[in-house]
Amino acid sequence: MEQQKKSSFTGSIGFVLAAAGSAVGLGNIWRFPYLAAKHGGGLFLIVYIALVLLFGFALLLTDIAIGRRTGMNAGNAYGAIHKKWKWVGHLTFLVPSIILMYYIVIGGWIIKYIVEFLMFNGAEVAADGYFTSFIKSPVAPIVFMLIYLALTAVVVYAGVEKGIEKFSKIVMPILLIMIIGIAAFALTLSHTDANGVTRTGLEGAWIYIVPNLEGLTLSKFVDVVLDAATQMFYSLSVAMGIMITYGSYVKKDVNLSKSVTQIQLFDTLVACLAGLMVIPAVFAFSGMDGMTAGPGLMFIALPKVFNQMGIAGNIVGIVFFIMVAFAALTSSVSIMETVVASCMEYFKKTRKQMSLLVGIIAAVCAVIICMGYNVFYFELTLPNGTVGQLLDIADYVSNSVLMPLITVLTCILIGWIAKPKWVIEEVEASGHKFGKKTLFTIVVKFVAPVVMTILLLDALGLFDPIVNFIAGLF
């Protein structure tokens, strides 16, 4: 029977590129630059890189090792480590299921922008209110979402080796070249605004790279660390069962520790380059004000910047959104793969059957998410203080609540119950020495659970009250 043949990546490069494909996504290109701009440029970069080096690797390695050692998806892997922990596996299955339904909606928006730029409609796209009226329209967002879902589903349907690995091997190098190209172009920009002020891309890059410590207080610094930590976990696709699934496809002779370093390097490099592309461009054309665009950066602020570049801007727009689509597609493929692979295990059915089923269910759920901007529109204030619609709520539940919760649970299981050597043995099973054993142990047992508990409390809006309460005691 087809589902019993275990698929696998052909080798280490295929695995690293597929995992990097999952890691590099909208988070790198959309969220990272905006967080860097918000948190004093270089300061955020330093904190982020320190966090990646210090403990990002431990969690990524844990997920991948769980997958490879058990050879299972998250749904069953936790139960295989310890019977009583099977429920954590089921909880983990929820995360990619929720993410899939809204990620493909955003993917649809990207396809829409590619089409518009290809038709040289850059000026229209840059008009005020364009983006909002598009996502509020009843039909178009659904049609584009379906196109994006079909692209994702085709790759998953084709399987691990012929689909995911092949796709990642083609797309990831192209993505890297495109992003380096746009970043280099952004550095050459220079623009004089209506008041006669000239700003250049190089000045923007300076703002991005040099730490701005003005007005920095301890509580602001804690904010930077929390934002950087949340961003890092999202960006590395950990605690979502995804890296467990990909880990289960890795052959036993692959050096896991080295692969994790390469995946992290790729992910961090693309994030840094995205900042080097976005921040100088936005700075040259809109100054520091443009930076506060927040999440609207990609769909609102950047099209305005492209429009001001004239015809060249339209070309940059095409390249930019195709590049974003590549980044997003390799991520949504990993999300859908995880759901499909888990369903294959749960229901003992074939990949083809489950790809179709998951595709149909995801489409229905995504239609509901699209309707969150018209029929089902409402504004809900979330416990962390942000106001959101259906899409934001799905994002909040999966990333802000479930992800830290699952990480804490995973760290307790690996750090205290199965013990870190459970992972260390798997890393060394390939015959390679694992040099960061002590750091790994400290991170999994102590650092990660504490940091993730703080992130969880922060997401639930409980962190500040607790800190204030403790401060009040002294």
Residues of this chain that bind ligand PHE (CB under 6 A): 22-23, 25-28, 99, 234-235, 237, 240, 242, 331, 334-335
**Minimum distance between the CB of residue 99 and ligand PHE, rounded to whole angstroms?**
5
DSSP codes, 126-138: HSTTHHHHHHHSS
What is the token pair recorded at 164?
């995911």
Q: Which residues, at least 6 apart from 180, have a Cβ–Cβ distance to it below 8 Å?
A: 273
Cβ proximity to ligand PHE, 70 vs 268, nearer residue: 268
Residue at 394: amino acid letter = A
Cβ proximity to ligand PHE, 274 vs 424, nearer residue: 274
**Minimum distance between the CB of residue 249 and ligand PHE, rounded to whole angstroms?**
16
**Minimum distance between the CB of residue 267 and ligand PHE, rounded to whole angstroms?**
7
In the numeric block, the tokens 């990097």 are attached to: 20
**Minimum distance between the CB of residue 452 and ligand PHE, rounded to whole angstroms?**
16
Phi, psi of 9 (to 5 degrees): -75, 150
Cβ proximity to ligand PHE, 12 vs 230, nearer residue: 230
Q: What angle do CA 201, 207, 211 make, to 5 degrees?
A: 155
**Minimum distance between the CB of residue 470 and ligand PHE, rounded to whole angstroms?**
33
Cβ proximity to ligand PHE, 99 vs 354, nearer residue: 99
**Minimum distance between the CB of residue 95 and ligand PHE, rounded to whole angstroms?**
8
**Minimum distance between the CB of residue 315 and ligand PHE, rounded to whole angstroms?**
25
Nearest-angstrom CA–CA distance, 243 and 235:
12
Cβ proximity to ligand PHE, 37 vs 333, nearer residue: 333
Instruction: Give the distance from CA 333 to its chain's centroid.
Output: 12
Query: Which residues share a beta bridge with 211?
Result: 41
Nearest-angstrom CA–CA distance, 214 and 160:
49
What Å distances lie between residue 159 and 24, 337, 338, 425, CA to CA? 20, 9, 12, 29
How would you label 447-460 residue by residue, b for 16+ Cβ within 10 Å and e otherwise? bbbebbbbbbbbbe
Cβ proximity to ligand PHE, 240 vs 256, nearer residue: 240
- With residue 23 as reference, give the H or E element that holds it: helix 12-23
Cβ proximity to ligand PHE, 270 vs 390, nearer residue: 270
Report DSSP state, residue 41: B
Note the helical H segments in 159-200: 166-187
